Structure 1
Amino acid sequence: MSLSTSLVRLSLAASVAVVLGACSPQPEAPSTTDPATEAAADPAAAPAPEIDVTAYDWRLTRATGADGQVGSGPLAALGTLERPLELHFAEGRLSSNGACNGMGGGYRIEDGTLRVDTLVQTQRACRGDLMEADAALSALLEGGPGFALAGLTPPVLTLTADDGRALVFEGAPTPEAFYGSEGTRMFMEVAAEREPCSHPLIPDMRCLMVREVRYDDAGVQTRVSEDWEPLYQEIGGYTHEPGVRNVLRLKRFDVADPPADAPSVAYVLDMVVESETVPDND
């Protein structure tokens, strides 16, 4: 075989290999785009965060008018209360501390709208502006406001009326979500005055004086002990007013891995059952 014939055959074989390679399926080149980056570039493509509205206590941070600006009027007054307005969602019921009176009723969320049954309210008498704020809040909740949750940190809940006015809330984990359990319900009587108590880390500490109480099936109260004992910690959600004795319904939670010298249990206010102003005997 001549050298020229060999070269021709080699050239022909190379050409066939090129053609077959072009016809064969080729592996795809690895993508250089991070899916997370794509989601950030196109927020609409990112999955909506799942937020359990019942896992948070919702505190009002802003009340805006129809123009989106902080407005005026009874609804806007809810954003200026000394005691922050809060909403709570649990077991199919919505409740609020209101501007003056507490209110609550059944609720459901349908197609981005909050549907609230007729609200039941307490009957305290307050200043006229607070009563007007209560009426405005009740009208907004019962009017089927738009319901929008944003998965921020902390999460944000916005309720928007038909006319564009809105209430904006920030969520804080409920005690149940924070401590990871349902807790144990109990009742505690709190004396009218704090008393000095010895604490190794806090000089001149004054403790709440407490004693546990229980109720029988007929609702009759009995004390576990007649003696007052110092409580070397605060009660979550409770602000003690000197001179006022209270019976509180609490939830008691075990604290997992508490820091050194910190309590292994936490007490959180559920409701004030009884309140009495105690005369000063001095």
Structure 2
Amino acid sequence: MSLRNAMIATALMLTTAACAHAGATTGTASEAAGDAAGDATAAGSGGERSLRVDRDELINTGGWRLASASGGDGATAVRAPGIAFDISFDREGISANGGCNTIRGTYTVSGKRMRFDVAIATRMSCTDDKNLADRSFVELMNQSFQAELLEPMPYRLRLTGDGGQVLVFEAKPMQL
């Protein structure tokens, strides 16, 4: 990567982080109080800071890669060896791929809650483990989550399901 491209990438990452921080300071007084409580909790666990999630924060990355999944059988199946799920957001939808089928759907964001409605959009002929991982990912994602954007770098999206499942996605750098 050239020095110019590295400088542009760094500037974009700093701008994204600044925008995310600015987005965290808007909202109602009760949201601010709830966010502050969440921030204090996150700050006590390794210096992380939790931000309220909004669409711009989700979209303005190079996408997200599933870094870890825990809790529930679905999370285990999604984390099969050699299968890494990438997701990307746009204004109304989400698309995901784990190396086989394309998964598409919608999502909603309200404060720190996210709800997904996703399905397998293609029916590729893949190995059984990849097809199983795709189905497990769809089943796991079709629910409501407590959502947090975590700083500092790497920028992460942590989704905590009502059943205790925790999915952590790391932001991928934007491709210039």
Give the superposition deviation at 1:152: 1.8
User: Corresponding residue for 1:171?
Assistant: 171
Give the superposition deviation at 1:120: 4.5
- Separation of aligned partners in 2, 1:83 and 1:44: 34
Q: How does 1:201-240 map to 2 (within 5 A)?
A: none
Give the superposition deviation at 1:50: 6.9
Q: How does 1:236-255 map to 2 (within 5 A)?
A: none
Q: When the two structures are aligned, how many residues end up with a matched partner? A: 128
Change (3 A) 1:104 1:140: same
Q: Is the 8 A contact 1:65 1:166 kept in 2?
A: yes
Partner of 2:172: helix, strand, or coil? strand
Letter in 2 for 1:131: N
- The higher-RCO structure (CA 8 Å, 6+ apart) is 2
Q: How does 1:146-157 map to 2 (within 5 A)?
A: 146-157=146-157
Give the superposition deviation at 1:55: 1.4
User: Corresponding residue for 1:250?
Assistant: none
CA deviation profile, 1:152-190 (whole Å, cap 9, x unmatched): 201111122222122211112322xxx4xxxxxxxxxxx
CA deviation profile, 1:224-247 (whole Å, cap 9, x unmatched): xxxxxxxxxxxxxxxxxxxxxxxx
Give the superposition deviation at 1:104: 0.9
Q: Structure 2 stretches of 5 or more lacking a match?
A: 1-38, 44-48
Q: How does 1:257-272 map to 2 (within 5 A)?
A: none
1:138 paired with 2:105, answer no
User: Corresponding residue for 1:65?
Assistant: 71
Q: Whose Rg is larger?
A: 1
Partner of 2:154: helix, strand, or coil? coil
Q: Is the 8 A contact 2:155 2:170 kept in 1?
A: yes
Q: Is the 8 A contact 1:155 1:171 kept in 2?
A: yes
Give the superposition deviation at 1:121: 1.7
- Separation of aligned partners in 1, 2:99 and 2:113: 23
- Separation of aligned partners in 1, 2:150 and 2:126: 34
Change (3 A) 1:170 1:102: same
Q: Is the 8 A contact 2:101 2:122 kept in 1?
A: yes
Partner of 2:129: helix, strand, or coil? helix
CA deviation profile, 1:66-85 (whole Å, cap 9, x unmatched): 6xxxxxx4422333442521
2:40 to 28, 41, 44: 44
Q: How does 1:171-210 map to 2 (within 5 A)?
A: 171-175=171-175, 179=176
1:53 paired with 2:58, answer yes
Relative to its length, the structure with more helix (as a share) is: 2
Partner of 1:173: helix, strand, or coil? coil
- Separation of aligned partners in 2, 1:118 and 1:155: 24
User: Corresponding residue for 1:106?
Assistant: 106
Change (3 A) 1:114 1:50: closer
Give the superposition deviation at 1:97: 0.6
User: Corresponding residue for 1:117?
Assistant: 117
CA deviation profile, 1:112-160 (whole Å, cap 9, x unmatched): 2222234352111323332222112111221122222112201111122
Give the superposition deviation at 1:49: 4.8
CA RMSD, 1 decimal: 2.7
User: Corresponding residue for 1:207?
Assistant: none
- Separation of aligned partners in 2, 1:132 and 1:159: 21
Partner of 1:60: helix, strand, or coil? strand
